[in-house]
Amino acid sequence: MTTTTDILARPHRFEPARVPGRDPLLLLHGTGGDETDLLSLGRALAPGAALLSPRGSVLENGMPRFFRRLSEGVFDEADLIRRTDELAEFIAAARAAHGLEAPVAVGFSNGANIAASLLLRHPGVLAGAVLLRAMKPFAANPRPGHSATPVLMISGQMDPIVPTANANALAVDLETSGAVLTRHVLPTGHGLSQADLHIAGEWLAAHGQARSGSSTET
């Protein structure tokens, strides 16, 4: 039987909040990153927020990833489902251990792909998501949903890894699943730019204000 201790034994980093009332961030690195990779990005995007950053649990040529792929752009969907479910369990265990609200995912590349999978397979696990250079995780279209989760998706117009048609299909999947999608396509490639950071930071700030306002009693 898998225990909470077993689940939290997964390599990860946690930084407690320094500013009350900010949404915790779930940081999901790209291929070859680890649990430290996006910490500085998280601090820059949401200063003072709690940060939860797990390491991907599979290796590809020695590089950590969140799930296996069969080839470039072709995902092992059975493994993706398994790893997505494991990540949902990790989030639940970490929330209980640290007293966290539902986090907002910030994922880059492979990390953005598993964040998209979380949104589609486990509505409600995330309070929101910032998807940087994400691809459509599943070949089949999702069933319509009603989660109304806010999602920011930023794609690169000249991205050699994520074809425009694939990114467009992911946007359709997210909206079909019930997500409230904000979409930006920047004149850049797969790497992140200052424009990504500016847009993501503003979106996170606005999302936090909206959450605070919606919980205020009048």
Collapsing DSSP to helix, strand or coil, 209 comes out as helix
38 inside domain: yes
Residue 95 pLDDT exceeds 80: yes
100 inside domain: yes
213 inside domain: no
69 inside domain: yes
216 inside domain: no
214 inside domain: no
What is the CB-side half-sphere exposure of residue 191 using CA atoms within 13 A? 2
23 inside domain: yes
Q: List Cβ neighbours of 53 (8 Å cut-off, separation of 6 or more).
A: 12, 13, 14, 26, 27, 28, 29, 35, 36, 37, 38, 39, 42
190 inside domain: yes
The burial class, CB within 10 Å (0-12 / 13-18 / 19+), for 104 is buried
Q: Kindly report the average pLDDT of the chain as a whole number.
A: 93
Q: Which helix (H) or strand (E) holds 63?
A: strand 63-65
Percent of the chain clearing pLDDT 90 (strictly above): 83
Number of independent structural domains in the chain: 1
- CA atoms of 73 and 191, how far apart (whole Å): 17
pLDDT digits (tens, 9 = 90+) for 149-185: 999 999 999 999 999 999 999 999 999 999 999 999 9
Residue 217 pLDDT exceeds 70: no
DSSP code at position 38 = T
Show which residues are catalytic. Answer: 109, 159, 190
Residues of the domain holding 173: 4-206
CATH number, domain with residue 65: 3.40.50.1820
Partnered with residue 131 across adjacent β-strands are 107, 153
